[in-house]
């Protein structure tokens, strides 16, 4: 019997073993046919990076002795490219990326491999969404997976604006504590960087990059502020990165060759 349900491609940046990926895949199977293609290893913070000059390896992956999906020895963007060119026989109806450990709000959006995978899907003219849970510890993906399913159903019915993905950040709280859903813009919160210097066994210095996200937003229209008030923040992110407001002022410079 032919399964006419929508075909959903699931990816992430935390790797094939990530709990959030499994929660998302299980949730998506309730509404469609699911193909999982994810990095063989964690690739957080890769943004829109892709692998050049090094061969990619695609392998089957089993969970509990059953086929679960495919791994790619590269970045989240590599996974989308490999899925569309070598794994799938036809384009999926929608791509969902996540569920990420940690928020992808404000400037995190620029670094996020979760968002990068969704953007690559949109570049390939496929409706795409990125889902993130706003915690790095004690993660509970139950409500996030449920909300993802609800929103994917909506997008399958309504579609998305051209060249736009949805970046969805979900608070790590019980469903009863969710205050609502906010349509937001990318906030201005940024990382306060901290680089830790240490020496290896030979006395050579090496460095760990760390830091914390500084809240620089103060209203419900900004994603990071909204999730801190226990709202699900849905931010439309455009493939076109042009600052259109800057075009006319720059034209007034009257530059010549």
Tallying the residues shown for the chain, one arrives at 257
Angstrom distances, CA of residue 154 to CA of 7, 129, 148, 151, 168: 15, 12, 10, 5, 14
Closest to 11 in 3D by CA, of 44, 35, 29 = 35
**Chain-centre distance of CA 114, in angstroms?**
2
Has 3 been labeled as part of a binding site? no
Has 240 been labeled as part of a binding site? no
Has 14 been labeled as part of a binding site? yes
Contact predicate 83/35, CB 8 Å: yes
Instruction: For residues 99 and 141, give the distance between their C-alpha atoms in angstroms, rounded to a whole number.
Output: 8
Has 223 been labeled as part of a binding site? no
State the binding site for a divalent metal cation.
Answer: 13-14, 44, 100
Q: Residue ranges for the binding site?
A: 13-14, 44, 100
């Amino acid at each position: 019997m032919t399964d006419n349900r929508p075909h959903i491609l699931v990816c992430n940046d935390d790797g094939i073993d990530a709990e959030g990926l499994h929660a998302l895949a299980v949730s998506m199977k309730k509404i469609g046919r699911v193909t999982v293609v994810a990095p063989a290893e964690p690739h957080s913070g890769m943004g829109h990076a892709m692998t050049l000059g090094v061969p990619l390896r695609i392998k089957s992956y089993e969970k509990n002795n059953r086929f679960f999906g495919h791994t790619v020895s590269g970045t989240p963007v590599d996974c989308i490219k490999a899925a569309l060119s070598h794994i799938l026989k036809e384009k999926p109806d929608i791509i969902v990326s996540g569920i990420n450990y940690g928020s992808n709000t404000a400037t995190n959006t620029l670094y996020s491999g979760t968002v990068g995978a969704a953007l690559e899907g949109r570049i390939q003219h496929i409706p795409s969404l990125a889902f993130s849970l706003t915690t790095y510890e004690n993660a509970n993906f139950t409500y996030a997976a449920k909300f993802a399913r609800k929103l994917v159903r909506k997008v399958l019915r309504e579609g998305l604006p051209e060249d736009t993905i949805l970046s969805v950040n979900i608070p790590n709280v019980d469903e009863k504590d969710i205050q609502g859903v906010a349509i937001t813009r990318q906030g201005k919160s940024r990382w306060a960087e901290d680089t830790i210097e240490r020496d290896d066994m030979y006395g050579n210095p090496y460095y760990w990059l760390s830091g914390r996200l500084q809240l620089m937003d103060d209203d419900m229209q900004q994603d990071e502020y909204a999730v801190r008030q226990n709202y699900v923040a849905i931010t439309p992110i455009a493939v076109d990165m042009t600052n259109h407001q800057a075009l006319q002022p720059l034209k007034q410079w009257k530059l010549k060759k």
